[in-house]
Amino acid sequence: MILVETSHPGNIGAAARALKNMDLQELVLVRPRQFPSAEANARASGATDILEKARVCATLAEAAADCTLVLATTSRERDHYYRVLDVRDAAQRAVAAAAQGPVGIVFGPEQSGLTNDDLANTHALLRIPTGEHYASLNVAMAVQIVSYEILRARGTAVPVAPREVPLATAQNMELMYAHLADVLEEIDFRERTQNGSNLHNRIRRFLQRAELDGNEVNILRGILSAVQQRRRRAGA
């Protein structure tokens, strides 16, 4: 990630943290207004190591010298000269290209964006979609979104893991539904409705949706048993 002429040191720190959060390492700063800085360190939080090893360059050409693919961020939807890639596609592209050589992604100054000169080494533009009413993203936020999409593109995102307690078997669910039907009948709930079986199905559906585990089914059955016992003790 290459940040050009960043004005606010806080943004440099926040960008460092954004990189490290997404398992990226290399930050290059072209003519930062103030660096190093205490504010950058504070905003970097646990990512001050990224700041310590950040490279500071006088020109973008120097910063991007060893890159085999350079993408520059833009707010434009189209461009006369460059392909404009959506950030998601750009991230895929960057990850694929990184197998072959360093990839640079360039972020312009907060106020003005990149100049045409800055684009000299660019292979394509990268665009982050925004709303219409206020399209100007903070530069560190842009770094965060790009880094996030790169992490996703790398496929390192850990897949959502299974539940710790196994889900109840269909058979256990059936036993619980039968128990529920008994209790509903005992408390005359069935007769209070126009269409008892339909109602029971409604309950089934939302309990199915909840994807209950074995413990949770036991809790429900405990409640059902308690209702039955209290009624019997009450001599009903």
Determine which residue in the list 7, 31, 148, 175 makes contact with a second copy, applying CB under 8 A.
148
Interacting stretch for a second copy, rule CB under 8 A, among 52-60, 100-108, 112-120, 155-163? 155-163
Q: Examine residue 117 and tell whether it contacts a second copy (CB under 8 A).
A: no
Q: What x-and-dash track marks residues 57-96 binding a second copy by CB under 8 A?
A: --------------------xx-x--xxxx-x--------
Q: Of the listed pieces 16-24, 30-38, 54-62, 99-107, which binds a second copy according to CB under 8 A? A: 16-24
State yes or no: residue 162 binds a second copy (CB under 8 A).
yes
* Tokens of residue 203, six digits: 């309950």
Q: Which is nearer to a second copy, 63 or 124 (CB)?
A: 124
- What is the per-residue binding string for a second copy in 163-202, x denoting contact by CB under 8 A? xxx------------------x-xxxx--xx-----x--x
- Tell me phi and psi for residue 182, to 5 degrees: -60, -50
* Bridge partners (DSSP) listed for residue 78: none
Helix, strand, coil shares of the chain, percent, nearest 5, are 50, 10, 35
Q: How many CB atoms lie within 10 A of CB 47?
A: 21
Within 2-120, residue ranges assigned H as helices are: 9-21, 38-44, 48-52, 60-63, 87-98
Q: How far apart are alpha carbons 81 and 137 in whole angstroms?
A: 23
Nearer to a second copy, 59 or 89 (CB): 89
